[in-house]
Chain A
Amino acid sequence: MKSRLRMLCSLAIITGLAMAAGLLAGCSQAKKEKVEEVKEPYKIGAIFAVTGRAAPLGEPEKETAEMLVAQINEAGGINGHKLELIVEDDEGDETKSLMAAKKLIEKDQVLAVVGTTTSGTTLAIMKTFEEAQTPLVSCAASVKIVEPVNPWVFKTPQSDRDAVLKILEYLEAQGINKIAFINDSNAYGVSGKIEIEALAPQRGVEIVAKETFGGEDTDMTPQLTRIKGTKAQAVICWGTNPGPAIVARNMKQLKMSIPLIQSHGVANAKFVELAGDAAEGVLLPSGRLIVAEQLPDGHPQKQMLIDYKTAYTGKYNKPVSTFGGHAYDAIKILAGALERGGADKAKIRDEIENTKNFVGTAGVFNYSPEDHYGLDVSAFSMVEIKGGQWQLVSE
């Protein structure tokens, strides 16, 4: 009897802990911004991976979106209408993303949605937005989001293809024509692999080794040892933290002296922190957010990037990330469309498509009916990590 009681107690404790965990997660999931009623507020939704594996991306996106909405509302809203932002957490999971999308469209009746964080989730919910005739401005990078064009779906991050093109431009300038490629086995890594396999031969670059690593792999020395056994003149690594940081560390461990070129997926402070000394000399194509101060005066992006940086760091007391920038672009583009189109989903869609010369964190956007991506290779610049800092190599 006594032991049964004890068992029940323990079970109660464990369930209690689990529920507390659930509640805490729940709190951050659906945080609604309450706004004063002046005119009918414009309701917009956001779906980000605030928790889960993609959380380092989703968190700054959520924070940026909330910050911008607060800024817009402080400045009087859009044509007198306050913005109401409803944030959902999909944990980077396709099913949860779909549920969040349906909730936002059907229950909350939002005018448009910003997000998701990861390509897989955006691809999973695109059809729903087309059916519901609701605009979606995605913060995920995959080229499949905009090719073929889904009339209701747009994206703000730079495409992997342009990052690959930028790297190939750089390799050409350095006279490197034999490379080793190592990618994360997630969708992002595979997408980079597909692009480089298609584009490298066109530029006369030979891929002499192709390796992969899993998201939870903790030691990449076997893969790199294999690469060390080839004639590769540079290693290109395509992945999201922490894998690429381990690649950098392991390369140092194996005393590999060939350059390591990472993808824009690690253009964040976390990579430098994780890779430590091994980050020194790592090159990568990146948007200009991380090197804003080094841009020449008069560069169209310089001032707005610095403003965003100052505001974000001031509010959240941590450095900006490129991913937050994607949410910045998405919210600003949507806000512009709302200003011109009003509370009409079809007009908002048309106005997003009509966005021209919008200077965002990722580059200068020019959407058109055929192009819902809006950027090109010029959105990237090559940067190098020197003394733990980002250094602009070529604009």
Chain B
Amino acid sequence: MISPPRFFKASMTITEQILQYVLSGLVMGSSYALIALGFTIIYNGTNIINFAQGEFVVIGSLLMVTMTEVYELPMPLAFIIAVAGTALVAFALQRLAIHPLRNSNAMTLIIVTIGASIVLRGISMFIWGKDAYAMRHFSGEEPIEIFGATILPQSFWVFGITIAAVVLLQLFYRKTLMGKAMLATAVNKTAARLMGINVENVLLISFVVSGALGATAGIIIAPLNLAKYDAGVMLGLKGFCACILGGLGSSGGAIIGGILLGIIEALGAGLISSSYRDAIAFVILLLVLFVRPQGLAPLKEMMMGQEKQ
């Protein structure tokens, strides 16, 4: 490009605009869904809300940036290392901060996760600094046009990997012994323990899986959004909103909640006002808590999730 083009393209029609909002919302929504799933898995295992979930997302994306930009590893290898690295952080978090306090009440543990998130954010800041990082797209960067709206190839990666992660998670739950043990623990911890399930291991695995999911969300979204050490706060809160919207403790609810939240946010920002973009998520959170605290998921699943130890 020599100079900015001087021709002015005909403006977008309202239908095209709405399609664009929905597409943008789907992309953000997919990442919210993965973050919300992370919340759900830990909640089902331990009854706590892990407020360090957003930090997993950030650590995943920053590790990916380091692996691809500094060490110039191929994408798939970098992806695996970043996910594994974040899972390791989640492992350490569970062992060092949550496990020793396992007999405390949920509120104490939730506060521990808030503390952990601050520590993790601080560590990220020291390792990666305060700047944002740009990351390469997985494949081309040329936007694709769909009925007047445009979408980046990276968005398809986001959809594809989100779907793959959800399918893998379901397979893990239904087909593996550990997955079944996790489901059982989610339903009733005491009964699971009586059946000979090592509940401590299950709780540890919950954190590891949740860390891996968070990292995945961070990695797929990083080429679109830039990676920055303090991005986890907002992403974590949005994921939490998605959880509440979908019904705390329900995996299906977390996914639907995440995607819905992304779309509502984009539509709200586009059609109402971009100034209220973040407020929209939190207004939804409050509305759901007031009107339908069980969220969109069926009540039964909700009860299962809330089983006390």
Contact = CB atoms under 8 A, between A and B. Distances in A.
B100 interface: yes
Interface in A277-294: 277, 280-281, 283
Nearest to B155: A253
A258 B123 contact: no
A52 interface: yes
Contacts of A357: none
Interface stretch (B11-19, B38-46, B170-178, B190-198): B11-19
Contacts of B226: 218, 242, 245-246, 274
Interface string B97-131: 10111110000000000011011001101100011
A226 B24 CA distance: 13
Contacts of A260: 4
Contacts of B134: 245, 273-276
B266 interface: yes
Interface string A207-245: 000011110111101110110111101000000011001
Interface in A44-70: 51-53, 55-56
Given A10-B96, A257-B7, A258-B9, A21 B130 contact: no
Contacts of A277: 141
Chain B interface size, under 10 / 10 to 19 / 20 to 34 / 35 or more: 35 or more
A255 B270 contact: no
Nearest to A270: B131
Interface stretch (A12-20, A29-37, A116-124, A307-315): A12-20
A221 B277 CA distance: 12
Contact of A18 (B97, B122, B265): B122
A225 B152 contact: no
A248 to B, nearest CB: 11
Interface stretch (A1-9, A79-87, A197-205): A1-9
A384 B8 CA distance: 19
Contacts of A174: 6
Given A216-B231, A218-B226, A13 B12 contact: no
B8 A222 contact: no
B269 interface: yes
Given A6-B100, A230-B11, A242-B228, A223 B274 contact: yes
B225 A21 contact: no
A271 to B, nearest CB: 10
A219 B27 contact: yes
Contacts of A10: 96-97, 100-101
B100 A7 contact: yes
Contacts of A355: none
Interface string B44-79: 000000000000000000000000000000000000
A75 interface: no
B132 A214 contact: no
Given A6-B100, A10-B97, A273-B134, A222 B119 contact: no
B275 interface: yes
A219 B141 contact: no
B11 A228 contact: yes
Contacts of A254: 20, 143, 150
B15 to A, nearest CB: 11
Contacts of A242: 132, 226, 228
A249 B100 CA distance: 45
Contacts of A52: 130
Nearest to A21: B122
B221 interface: yes
B1 interface: yes
B26 to A, nearest CB: 11
Contacts of B228: 242
A347 interface: no
B96 A228 contact: no
A14 B116 contact: yes
B28 A219 contact: yes
A225 B24 contact: yes
Given A216-B278, A229-B13, 15 more contacts: A10-B96, A10-B100, A10-B101, A14-B97, A213-B274, A219-B24, A221-B20, A221-B266, A222-B270, A222-B277, A254-B143, A254-B150, A257-B7, A257-B8, A384-B3
Interface of A: 3, 6-7, 9-10, 13-14, 17-18, 21, 24, 51-53, 55-56, 174, 185, 211-214, 216-219, 221-223, 225-226, 228-231, 233, 241-242, 245-246, 249, 252-260, 270, 273-277, 280-281, 283, 384
Closest 6 pairs (CB-CB, A-B): A218-B225, A259-B4, A222-B270, A222-B269, A242-B132, A7-B100
